[in-house]
Chain A
Amino acid sequence: MTDGTGKGSHDIELRLPADLVQLPIIRGLASTIATRADFDLDAIADLRLAVDEAASTLITKAAPESTMVCTFTLADDELRFTGRVLTREQQAPSTGTFGWRVLTTLTDSATGWIAANGQGNLMHIQLSKRKPVATP
């Protein structure tokens, strides 16, 4: 694990209070990044909805007063979002909910997991969206 300040990182990282009022900032950044990476309008809109859904899931599971960290990674034709929050939950987000159905429909892959970090448990949700293969 690096702290992200080293050379060679092209990640875009956002740290903000794990509070639902922050959602517009997160989805705004998601659509700005996808737009400038020249994803098509459907993919941009889907990603925006998916990030909104993932972030709000994480925020509702976050420990009070905690911070959420969102990382956006752009590699080749794929945009990856990873959100993480400190949580009191022991289990990864359920994949049986309607919210999870939303995530898997809107993205190419959605993964959720829990990892311990010394202070407690970190809940993660990672989404990735690829540009559709161009049909000339």
Chain B
Amino acid sequence: MSETGTRYPTSSHEYEHLRPLFTELASLEADDPRRARIRDKLVTGHLPLAEHIAQRFSGRGVAKEDLVQVGTVGLINAVDRFDAERGADFLSFAVPTVMGEVRRHFRDTGWLVRVPRRLKELHLSLSNASTKLSQELGRAPTPSELAEHLGISKDDVYEGLEAGNAYNSTSLDEVLTADSDSAALGDLLGAEDAGLTGVENSGALEPLVAALPDRERKILALRFVHNLTQTQIAERIGVSQMHVSRLLARSLTELRRGLSEEDIPD
């Protein structure tokens, strides 16, 4: 990755007006209610910085929205850790912090194995094309429809789809967006006829389902109680079908693992 030579707004006059806020923040007691507001202002005011850096890393197989989120996490860390009294410039502190966060995202939560950039990009364009075609067709596209839409060979489609299996299911937005739709839990466990209360291992299942992250529980309910397709779920939740698929796989594995621990071998 070549970070050098590209320009991000380090000429601090763009953020000059925010400087006094750091001094103000430093002067407040740790439990001062005003701190939160100033911190928010600082983060919001510096957001273009996170966006610039995210932009620089885009086109590498990770969605730009994800990168902006990661960059923002880095920015929040930078605001929290910055010590205005040491006289350093915030930007010279923040830029490496935000970049470090983005790089860590690529390393830890992006692709599980080393996948050539061409394949990552191919996978991303397949994912985008799939979302678009699903809307047009009212169902998920087939590999040959994807090939035709993108003007590439079917073999390339196969390769790109397969590359997706090397993608880590832990995506940043799962960590950042708290989706507290507790109705989903009711869907799975509560409703007498629609839920899972009829299944014979529901007693063991209940705590396992309850332990899943909110969004995974919701997706599980939409697929296995409401019988929506993965594409319909993707539309409703606002992620790609491929992502829904990965989350379902992870939830099911988690439930199976939990249930097998319950099993007493005879």
Could you list which residues of chain A lie within 8 angstroms of chain B, going by C-beta atoms?
28, 31-32, 35-36, 38-46, 48-49, 52-53, 56, 60, 94, 96-102, 105, 132, 135
User: Would B141 and A40 count as touching, CB distance under 8 A?
Assistant: yes
**Contact assessment for B201 and A97 in the assembled complex, using a CB-CB cutoff below 8 Å:** yes
Q: Please state if B140 and A42 are interface contacts (CB–CB under 8 Å).
A: yes
Main SS of chain B's interface residues? Answer: helix
Scan residues 26-42 of chain B and give those whose CB is less than 8 A from a CB of chain A: none
Residues of A within 8 Å of B224, CB to CB, are 101-102, 105
Using A99-B256, A101-B196 as known contacts, say yes or no to A42 and B231 having CB atoms under 8 A apart. Answer: yes
Q: List which B178-210 residues lie within 8 A (CB) of chain A.
A: 196, 198-202, 205
Chain A, residue nearest B147 (CB): A38
Q: How many A-B residue pairs have CB under 8 A?
A: 85
CA distance A31 to B166 in the complex (A): 14
Q: Is the CB of A38 within 8 A of B162?
A: no
Whether the pair A38, B142 counts as a contact (CB closer than 8 A) is yes
The contact of A43 among B140, B158, B200, B244, by CB within 8 Å, is B140
Report, nearest first, the 4 A-B pairs whose CB atoms are least far apart: A42-B140, A45-B245, A96-B200, A41-B140
**A130 to B43 CA separation, bound complex (whole angstroms):** 52
Interface residues in B134-149 by Cβ distance below 8 A to A read 138-144
B194 to chain A, nearest CB (A): 12
Contact between A41 and B141 (Cβ–Cβ < 8 Å)?
yes
Q: Are A52 and B139 in contact (CB under 8 A)?
A: no
- With a cutoff of 8 Å between Cβ atoms, the chain A residues found around residue B260 in the complex are 60
11 sample A-B contacts, Cβ–Cβ < 8 Å, listed by A number: A32-B158, A36-B158, A39-B142, A40-B141, A41-B142, A42-B230, A42-B231, A45-B241, A96-B198, A97-B199, A98-B259
Does A53 contact B256, Cβ atoms closer than 8 Å?
A: yes
Interface flags, B209-253, vs A, CB<8A=1, else 0: 000000000000001100101110000000001101100110011
Residue B128 interfacial (CB < 8 Å)? no
Most interface-central of A31, A96, A98 (chain B CB within 10 A):
A98
Residues of B within 8 A of A52 (CB): 249, 252-253
Tell me the minimal C-beta distance from B258 to chain A in angstroms.
11
Q: Residue B161 at the A interface, CB < 8 A?
A: yes
Contact check, B199 vs A28: say whether CB atoms are below 8 A apart: no
Picked from B162, B230, B253, the residue with its CB within 8 Å of the CB of A45 is: B230
Question: Are B252 and A105 in contact (CB-based, < 8 A)?
Answer: no
User: What is the minimal beta-carbon distance from B84 to any residue of chain A, in angstroms?
Assistant: 50
Do the beta carbons of B245 and A40 come within 8 Å of each other?
A: no
A61 to chain B, nearest CB (A): 10
